[in-house]
Amino acid sequence: MADVQEIANRIVENVERVIIGKRQSVQLTVLGLLSQGHMLIEDVPGVGKTVMAKSLSKSVGCHFQRIQFTPDMLPSDVTGVSVFNQKTLEFEFRPGPIHAQIVLVDEINRATPKTQSALLEAMEEKQVTVDGFTYPLGPPFMVLATQNPIEYEGTFPLPEAQLDRFMLRIRLGYATKVEEIEMLERQQHKHPIDSINQVVSVEELAQAQADIKEIYLDDLVKEYIVDLVRETREHPDVYLGSSSRGALALYRLGQARAALFGRDYVLPDDVKALAGAALGHRIIVGPAARIKDVEPEAIVQDILDKVPVPGAQIKTK
229-287 pLDDT tens trace: 999 999 999 998 899 999 999 999 999 999 999 998 999 999 999 999 999 999 999 88
pLDDT-based confidence at 305, cuts 50/70/90? very high
In whole angstroms, what is the distance from residue 244 CA to residue 174 CA? 33
Chain segment 10-42, per-residue pLDDT in tens = 999 999 888 888 888 899 999 999 999 999 998
CB-based contacts of 248: which residues, under 8 Å, 6+ apart?
none
Q: How large is the C-alpha radius of gyration of the chain?
A: 21
Averaged pLDDT of the chain = 88
Q: Write the CA distances from 55 to 52, 253, 299, integer angstroms.
A: 5, 21, 32
What percentage of the chain has pLDDT greater than the value 90? 46
Angle formed at CA 79 by CA 77 and CA 81, multiple of 5 degrees? 70
Per residue in 55-104, pLDDT (tens digit) is 888 898 888 899 999 899 999 999 998 888 888 888 888 999 999 999 99
Distance CA 156, CA 46 (A): 21
Is residue 91 a contact partner of residue 82, using CB atoms and an 8 Å limit?
Answer: yes
Domains in the chain, ordered, with CATH?
1-211 (3.40.50.300), 215-308 (1.10.8.80)
Contacts of 312 (CB under 8 A, 6+ apart): none
Note the pLDDT of residue 3: 87
Please tell me the pTM assigned to this model. Answer: 0.87
Q: Phi/psi of residue 72, each to 5°?
A: -95, 5
Is the bond leading into 140 cis (omega within 30 degrees of zero)? yes
Task: Calculate mean pLDDT across residues 290-304.
Answer: 90
Instruction: Return the bridge partners of 169, or none.
Output: 40
Considering only CA atoms, which of 22, 23, 7, 6 is closest in space to residue 59? 7
With CA atoms as reference, report the closest residue to 61 among 199, 187, 174. 199
Given a contact cutoff of 8 angstroms between Cβ atoms, the answer to whether 59 and 15 are in contact is yes
**Residue 78 and residue 40 in contact, taking contact as beta carbons nearer than 8 Å:** no
Q: What digits encode the pLDDT tens for the residues 162-174? A: 889 999 998 888 8
